[in-house]
Chains A and B, each alone.
Chain A
């Protein structure tokens, strides 16, 4: 029997990472540097996911970015869409608005309205203590983020405070500098706090861009945190994001992800349930068209008893686009009395559209209630007939049914203004 040596994929990306680090000449902040060096070693050992890697089986990210970007010389953005940013800041009256252009935190255009007694926002570089608050996954792109990241913020929600003004983050991809962005934001929600974070990801222009983002949420006991993510990048933008969540006793964390566009979008959501009585909600809606490729990977790891998780992801897949869904639920032996529910529904609108879904349950505890369901189909003919019998055109009937389908997820949004905004976008997409 021959033993084949382990093959390292993405060698060019690794070389670029190495020269990027040596170009820095140790000029970076000490706490980031230690992490950077460690991550680089990890990257060299494990490499990037190859064509057969299970986690990236359908999303060939390594191939998509290798040789397409100059990671060795990551340059700052030279042209920022200042006018646009000012306009956005004006639009969100009474809210905290933060801007990240190709990953770089833009303090100049950002505005904070909440008092410091409720919330503090500081650049990542000033907060050595915040970088190692939680363990992260060994996803190759999360490691890549650690090697390159130089920018981000640490947002702290103070103990027993309810932040009434939402924190709105804009991640703008522009064709400027080296077209790549790395950003890492850390959200620390102290005991009994409550806050809503809204993230808009969009592209300015049609340039080929790459964004690698890490969000770490540390949710302390009794805190209630919501994360909204609206993704509308251009059909040339590649995005990979890792959202890591660590939940302590009796906390509630809800994630809402709406994906409309992008060349390749990969969202990794990892929730680690570390306390009793925790509730985790994951909702997602992806409407894909053209040639876009949207991949949602979620993981909930129940390690403690009496915890609940709910997951609902829906997709409407059109044209030649492809959607990938992989939902993992782990219930460890100690996590008795866990309820975990997962549901994934997909509608394919075209014969060239593809869906790859894998709802995965791994259970080591016996006193649990876990279920998952997954459906893929087309529009209900009876429902269409019902509407057509009432004089509604076929096209109109279809879009009504699709909208009704999507609204199951939209209805979960708790922020009124955002619910309206997302509904408008969905209607615009589905309307004929």
Chain B
């Protein structure tokens, strides 16, 4: 065995470090999906009639849809009748403060490295934690409340701010947008809701932590962010799941609405369980994320670091409707072993003078397949639209694949659209340069990859950048190409 192979071997046998599960007592729905389950979930949440109807309509749409197959990923199909669509950690009563939260839960978050109590005091990040798709604790509510910012679990929002939820729910990602969004709309159990009133600059990062804990469940959460005129918010999302042999489904929907002059920054560090080194188990991460720059001069920026999931299939998109609005997409997607990722973005230019920027860095190792799929569409009236896309792929080892599928559709003559893509491996000369200076090969790779991904990592808020860098270094341990 050559040294390369050895190192690859070592690298591929690395275990997933978030792979524990906690025996939280859970309140679950029986397996399977039918109208009764939808009613069950709605009743559990004590939802108003209109939301139940909305869910039933979504279920009806979903039943008549076919699972899409166009993505460049192969996986055994999910049996939608073998999933439990509702699983909530059991709590005796409503949580008033963190002290009332189940200590086992707190422990879970401590294992995740996001001790809620600590977060509350030290880091100044407001956290909404979602386990098995039910929001369990939200911190910093009062501080935010003083500014008029609403940051709470989705079910709470339905109870307390039904008019806001009703107005915006499904306005960016319509129920029938795609198969998974329809499924989510029918069965979503919780999620986060965030509302920034006019002219308010959110003083802290808002953060959601998602975790799938129970076996045989799917996680279907919904995030809705509304930024009113002239407001600003930076939102973080992190995810982990225990190690299990079977595949679990995560089909979330994220909707962002940015009104005139508003700016929303959405960052994700996705570290779902990727399956073991033989490609067994792992999360199917089929997420619909979309934001609309509804007002003039608004801005939505997506940053994602994708290291987990057996199959990732998501395209955080921006609809640039307001004139002079800006959409950004920064992504690092790392795949290893048998992981597959088909990810990218859509930038739909509708308004005049709209700008978008796409930077996508794919790194594939092991036997993984990493695809970038993106669309830049410039509509007829989007005069002066400008786009720059760059998607680079880095290959580590000769068993993996990197694919690029950019769609560029232009209908306006004043649009200026540039796209460039490169594929390469880590240069021997680069490694030589480092080793010559006393840096061992492994650290050299980490250094080079970090430099390669820097452009994206720089866009992450500080708290996440550290985690992301750690994740990257871990994933790339021993991966000398």
Q: Which of A41-49, A281-289, A370-378, A393-401 contacts B (4 or more CB under 8 A)?
A: A370-378
A362–B403 touching, CB < 8 Å: yes
B401–A363 touching, CB < 8 Å: yes
B413–A350 touching, CB < 8 Å: yes
The smallest C-beta distance from A360 to any residue of chain B, in angstroms, reads 5
B404–A365 touching, CB < 8 Å: no
B415–A377 touching, CB < 8 Å: yes
Does B380 have its Cβ within 8 Å of any Cβ on chain A?
yes
The closest CB in chain B to the CB of A364 belongs to B401
Known: A4-B66, A360-B405, A361-B421. A366 touches B396 (CB 8 A): yes
A354–B410 touching, CB < 8 Å: yes
Known: A366-B397, A368-B423. A356 touches B408 (CB 8 A): yes
B415–A376 touching, CB < 8 Å: yes
A363–B420 touching, CB < 8 Å: no
Chain B 381-422 interface mask (CB, 8 Å, partner A; 1/0): 001000000000101111111111111111111111111111
CA distance A360 to B371 in the complex (A): 10
CA distance A366 to B397 in the complex (A): 6
Does A132 have its Cβ within 8 Å of any Cβ on chain B?
no
Find the residue from B64, B397, B422 having the highest chain A CB count within 10 A: B422
B398–A358 touching, CB < 8 Å: no
B70–A54 touching, CB < 8 Å: yes
Task: Name the A residues within 8 Å of B424 (CB-CB).
Answer: 368-370
CA distance A363 to B383 in the complex (A): 35
Task: Name the A residues within 8 Å of B63 (CB-CB).
Answer: 1-2
CA distance A354 to B419 in the complex (A): 17
CA distance A372 to B411 in the complex (A): 22
A333–B406 touching, CB < 8 Å: no
Of the candidates B80, B407, B415, B423, which one forms a contact with A361 in the assembled complex, judged by CB atoms under 8 Å apart? B423
Does B481 have its Cβ within 8 Å of any Cβ on chain A?
yes
The smallest C-beta distance from B61 to any residue of chain A, in angstroms, reads 12
CA distance A75 to B164 in the complex (A): 68
B400–A375 touching, CB < 8 Å: no
CA distance A360 to B407 in the complex (A): 9
Does A408 have its Cβ within 8 Å of any Cβ on chain B?
no
A366–B410 touching, CB < 8 Å: no
Among B178-230, those with CB < 8 Å from A are: none
Task: Name the A residues within 8 Å of B380 (CB-CB).
Answer: 351-352
Task: Name the A residues within 8 Å of B395 (CB-CB).
Answer: 363, 365-366
The closest CB in chain A to the CB of B423 belongs to A370
Task: Name the A residues within 8 Å of B166 (CB-CB).
Answer: none
Task: For chain A, give the interface size range.
Answer: 35 or more
Known: A361-B404, A372-B421, A374-B420. A336 touches B398 (CB 8 A): yes
A359–B419 touching, CB < 8 Å: yes
Does B161 have its Cβ within 8 Å of any Cβ on chain A?
no
A375–B418 touching, CB < 8 Å: yes
Known: A354-B410, A375-B419. A363 touches B393 (CB 8 A): yes
Does A130 have its Cβ within 8 Å of any Cβ on chain B?
no
Task: For chain B, give the interface size range.
Answer: 35 or more
Task: Name the B residues within 8 Å of A372 (CB-CB).
Answer: 404, 419-421
Known: A333-B399, A351-B412, A366-B396. A1 touches B419 (CB 8 A): no
Task: Name the A residues within 8 Å of B419 (CB-CB).
Answer: 359, 372-375
Task: Name the B residues within 8 Å of A354 (CB-CB).
Answer: 409-411
Task: Name the A residues within 8 Å of B403 (CB-CB).
Answer: 360-363
Does A349 have its Cβ within 8 Å of any Cβ on chain B?
yes
Does A102 have its Cβ within 8 Å of any Cβ on chain B?
no
B425–A366 touching, CB < 8 Å: yes
A377–B398 touching, CB < 8 Å: no
Of the candidates B398, B411, B417, B422, which one forms a contact with A365 in the assembled complex, judged by CB atoms under 8 Å apart? B398
Does A367 have its Cβ within 8 Å of any Cβ on chain B?
yes
Of the candidates B400, B413, B423, which one forms a contact with A378 in the assembled complex, judged by CB atoms under 8 Å apart? B413
Find the residue from A354, A358, A359, A376 having the highest chain B CB count within 10 A: A376
CA distance A365 to B403 in the complex (A): 11
Task: Name the A residues within 8 Å of B407 (CB-CB).
Answer: 356-358
Task: Name the B residues within 8 Å of A359 (CB-CB).
Answer: 404, 406, 419, 421
CA distance A356 to B406 in the complex (A): 10
Does A355 have its Cβ within 8 Å of any Cβ on chain B?
yes
Known: A354-B410, A370-B422. A362 touches B401 (CB 8 A): yes
Among A207-240, those with CB < 8 Å from B are: none
The closest CB in chain B to the CB of A52 belongs to B70
CA distance A275 to B66 in the complex (A): 42
Task: Name the A residues within 8 Å of B80 (CB-CB).
Answer: 1
Task: Name the B residues within 8 Å of A362 (CB-CB).
Answer: 401-404
B414–A378 touching, CB < 8 Å: yes
Task: Name the A residues within 8 Å of B415 (CB-CB).
Answer: 348, 376-378
The smallest C-beta distance from A118 to any residue of chain B, in angstroms, reads 42
A349–B413 touching, CB < 8 Å: yes
CA distance A203 to B410 in the complex (A): 30
The closest CB in chain A to the CB of B403 belongs to A362
Task: Name the B residues within 8 Å of A355 (CB-CB).
Answer: 408-410
A367–B414 touching, CB < 8 Å: no
The closest CB in chain A to the CB of B33 belongs to A1
The smallest C-beta distance from A135 to any residue of chain B, in angstroms, reads 23
CA distance A4 to B401 in the complex (A): 32
Known: A4-B66, A355-B409, A361-B421. A376 touches B402 (CB 8 A): no
The smallest C-beta distance from A144 to any residue of chain B, in angstroms, reads 24
Task: Name the B residues within 8 Å of A1 (CB-CB).
Answer: 63, 66-67, 80
Known: A361-B403, A363-B402. A348 touches B413 (CB 8 A): yes
The smallest C-beta distance from A113 to any residue of chain B, in angstroms, reads 46
A376–B417 touching, CB < 8 Å: yes
CA distance A361 to B372 in the complex (A): 10
Chain B 72-96 interface mask (CB, 8 Å, partner A; 1/0): 0000000010000000000000000
CA distance A372 to B409 in the complex (A): 17
Chain B 25-68 interface mask (CB, 8 Å, partner A; 1/0): 00000000000000000000000000000000000000110110
The smallest C-beta distance from A303 to any residue of chain B, in angstroms, reads 14
B413–A366 touching, CB < 8 Å: no
Known: A346-B410, A358-B407. A333 touches B398 (CB 8 A): yes
The smallest C-beta distance from B373 to any residue of chain A, in angstroms, reads 10
Task: Name the A residues within 8 Å of B401 (CB-CB).
Answer: 362-364
Task: Name the A residues within 8 Å of B64 (CB-CB).
Answer: 2
B410–A348 touching, CB < 8 Å: yes
Does A426 have its Cβ within 8 Å of any Cβ on chain B?
no
Task: Name the A residues within 8 Å of B66 (CB-CB).
Answer: 1-4
Does A89 have its Cβ within 8 Å of any Cβ on chain B?
no
The smallest C-beta distance from B210 to any residue of chain A, in angstroms, reads 26
CA distance A375 to B376 in the complex (A): 12
The smallest C-beta distance from B187 to any residue of chain A, in angstroms, reads 14
Question: Would you list 21 pairs from A and B whose C-beta atoms are within 8 A, ordered by A residue?
Answer: A1-B80, A350-B413, A351-B383, A351-B414, A354-B410, A359-B404, A359-B421, A360-B406, A361-B421, A362-B402, A362-B403, A363-B402, A363-B423, A366-B395, A366-B481, A371-B423, A374-B408, A374-B417, A374-B418, A376-B416, A376-B418
The 8 closest A-B pairs by CB, nearest first: A366-B395, A348-B413, A374-B419, A361-B404, A376-B417, A377-B416, A370-B423, A364-B401
Q: A360-B403, A374-B420 are in contact. List 10 more A-B contacts (CB 8 A).
A: A348-B415, A353-B411, A354-B409, A355-B408, A359-B419, A361-B402, A364-B398, A370-B422, A372-B421, A378-B415
